[in-house]
Amino acid sequence: MSRLLRIARRMVPRGTKFRPSRDHYDYIIVGAGSAGCVLANELSANKSCRVLLVEAGGWDWKPLIHIPAGVYSVFKDPSLNWNMESEPEADAAGRRIELPRGKVVGGSSAINACVYMRGHPRDYDMWAERYALPSWRFDNCLPYFKRCETFDGGGDDFRGDAGRLMVSHGNMLNPMFDALLEAGKQSGQGVSDDLNGYKPEGVARLDRTTSPDGGRCSAADAHLIPALERSNLELVTQANVQQVVIHGNRATGITLDDSTHIHAANEVILCAGAIKSPQLLMLSGIGPREQLSDYSIPCQQHLPGVGQNLMDHACINIAFHAAERTRRHSLAHLSNPLGKAKAGLQWLMNGNGPASSNIWEGGGLVYGQHGGFDPHADESIAAPNLQYHFCPVYASYSGRDIDLFPGFQMQIDQLRPHSRGQVQLRSSHSAVHPAVRFNYLSDAHDMAELVDGYKTALDLFAQPAFDAFRGTIALPSHRLRTDAEIEQFVRTTSGTDYHPCGTCRMGGNESDDKAVVDEELRVRGISGLRVVDASVMPSIVSGNLNAPTQMIAMKAADLILGRQPLASERPSFHFD
């Protein structure tokens, strides 16, 4: 019954206000998402710091977001989600691509799919080498990943066992997950039993950010809620920040959109995510001078990189209907009221069953049949170029509705896109969303990798391991024969894995004029202001972004408090 208690307790917001109780703090953190929750806990652990955490969204009381499988029916609820969308994407058939972002305590970690992935160690080594960021080599990040988590498989050289973020290895019993691993072996794509551990390549069962009680472990659950007991931490919800106040070249506080001013004695830390952090910088007069002048915003610091370098993982989905004799293994029953009620009751009573699963429990980091490493490309590293997410059901979205059919489905992400986009102002008011252009597929390389991804995933599903489960193809509606047909499928159906990042990127070189923050995440040319969230990633990592963002915030806490960084660690990885 611990789940019923958890949900009942959450119905009553604790330790949260709609207005700050004072007009000055030591640290003001903007945004209670993945990064903001980590920082709120770490900074307020120092009793002498008064910390204010300001969140535009509301308290995370809605029960379905705490049930891992329940979130899919509510994540588009406008009371939880900014529900933005891109400008028409010219190379994706002119479609506007959905851009969900959490607008609730916990931010996107409260509405995400709970997949826990760190990315490939070489991603971070590339940050260090290409962007002059030696302290962000993987050896320096690993101790912070470990400090964040408690892994249910136990701690070792790679995994943590004393952190606040609860991580569990996918354990739903379903023969389709077994088929996936077997097909990994048969196809030569490889198998790993811990992608976040010693073997970051191959087909695998994925890890999830779920607690031992079977509920979601958002950044708020992990870091913020326990810290709200402290008298030196204040959380304000439904408070939209309009701008950072800059005097001379120092950030001195923030203004809310009702004109309330709040002073920060030490620092303002933007944790508003990859779309809203660059928007807030520009509204504060920090960004490309010409763009600011279009909106009559006085330029405090010309930083041409603000809002540039936008990246995301574009993805496609393929699905098969289940063969008649194996339909019973699929999770399609979860779409009917009886199936939902049974799963909900099982979750409430025991904390297990399908409702405790994030459903996408299978996946992998794999090399496409034709590639991966391109020694001539700037962003290329010797690491898998595709990510799989696999579930034992065929899920079809139309708007906010989701239909489930007996079958299985693979989402295939392109991990290192060459296309880059921008976030640009559309108004001088923070409540008006900025214009977001990803330029998905604008680089031919990205299209080629997704075409290759389609073929690589089909090759996996063609293995004998899937013979018992494979019916006819469901998505696309028929087998595509030529590259031109596959390209058309990619152009007209590709979507996003919801990983925008890079819009306030780090750079360690003084001469790097597109860097927005330095190696310690300080905004260039302005003191007392940092950005700490997914927007600082110089290049996108090979996996989902919640864990890397929390790692960044955990490392940032040491930088902000002037603590000695954790000692680097480099255990030996196993690569096939």
Binding site for ligand FAD (CB under 6 A): 30-36, 54-57, 75, 100-103, 107-109, 111-115, 240-241, 271-274, 276, 280, 430, 498-499, 533-534, 544-547, 549
The encoded tokens of residue 513 equal 């004029």
In angstroms, the CA 119 to CA 200 distance is 8
Smallest distance, ligand FAD to C-beta of residue 491, A: 23
Pick the closer one to ligand FAD by CB: 372 or 495.
495
Q: Which residue is nearest to ligand FAD, using beta carbons?
A: 33
Smallest distance, ligand FAD to C-beta of residue 23, A: 17
Instruction: Look up residue 179 and give its amino acid.
Output: A
Q: At what angle do helices 546-561 and 138-148 cross, to 10 degrees?
A: 100
Cis peptide before 476 (omega within 30 of 0): yes
Smallest distance, ligand FAD to C-beta of residue 429, A: 10
The encoded tokens of residue 305 equal 């990189």
Pick the closer one to ligand FAD by CB: 312 or 452.
312
252 backbone dihedrals φ, ψ, rounded to 5°: -115, -5
Pick the closer one to ligand FAD by CB: 98 or 569.
98
Under 8 Å between Cβ of 110 and 60: yes
Pick the closer one to ligand FAD by CB: 186 or 238.
238
Pick the closer one to ligand FAD by CB: 519 or 533.
533
How far does Cα 298 stand from its chain's mean position?
33
Smallest distance, ligand FAD to C-beta of residue 299, A: 20
Which stretches of 2-71 are assigned E, i.e. beta strand? 16-17, 24-30, 51-54
Distances (CA, A) of 361 to 34, 173, 211, 544: 21, 10, 15, 13
Distances (CA, A) of 304 to 247, 311, 334, 484, 523: 20, 17, 49, 38, 12
Smallest distance, ligand FAD to C-beta of residue 311, A: 12
Under 8 Å between Cβ of 110 and 222: no
132 backbone dihedrals φ, ψ, rounded to 5°: 55, 55
Pick the closer one to ligand FAD by CB: 465 or 504.
504
In angstroms, the CA 69 to CA 216 distance is 9
Q: Which residues of 163-193 are buried (b: 16+ CB within 10 A; e: fewer)?
A: bbbbbbbbebebebbebbbbbbebbebbbbe
Smallest distance, ligand FAD to C-beta of residue 317, A: 14
Pick the closer one to ligand FAD by CB: 195 or 486.
195
Scanning the structure block, which residue is given the tokens 């927007």? 535
Q: How far apart are the first and last CA of the chain?
A: 45
Under 8 Å between Cβ of 361 and 508: no
499 assigned to active site: yes
Contacts of 430 (CB under 8 A, 6+ apart): 240, 241, 242, 243, 257, 276, 279, 280, 283
Catalytic option among 66, 329, 433, 499: 499
Residue 268 β-bridge partners: 28, 529
Pick the closer one to ligand FAD by CB: 363 or 406.
363
Under 8 Å between Cβ of 331 and 393: yes
Distances (CA, A) of 222 to 115, 218, 237, 334, 404: 15, 6, 18, 28, 31
Pick the closer one to ligand FAD by CB: 29 or 451.
29
Under 8 Å between Cβ of 395 and 402: yes
Smallest distance, ligand FAD to C-beta of residue 35, A: 4
- Alpha-carbon torsion angle 558, 559, 561, 563, nearest 10: 60
Pick the closer one to ligand FAD by CB: 394 or 498.
498
For 10, counting Cβ atoms within 10 Å of its Cβ (0-12 exposed, 13-18 middle, 19+ buried), the class is: buried
Smallest distance, ligand FAD to C-beta of residue 103, A: 4
Query: Which among 349, 476, 330 has a CA at the least distance from the CA of 393?
Result: 330
Smallest distance, ligand FAD to C-beta of residue 479, A: 29
Smallest distance, ligand FAD to C-beta of residue 197, A: 17
Tell me, what DSSP letter sits at residue 105? T
Pick the closer one to ligand FAD by CB: 126 or 244.
244
Smallest distance, ligand FAD to C-beta of residue 146, A: 17
Scanning the structure block, which residue is given the tokens 């003001």? 28
Catalogue the active-site residues: 499
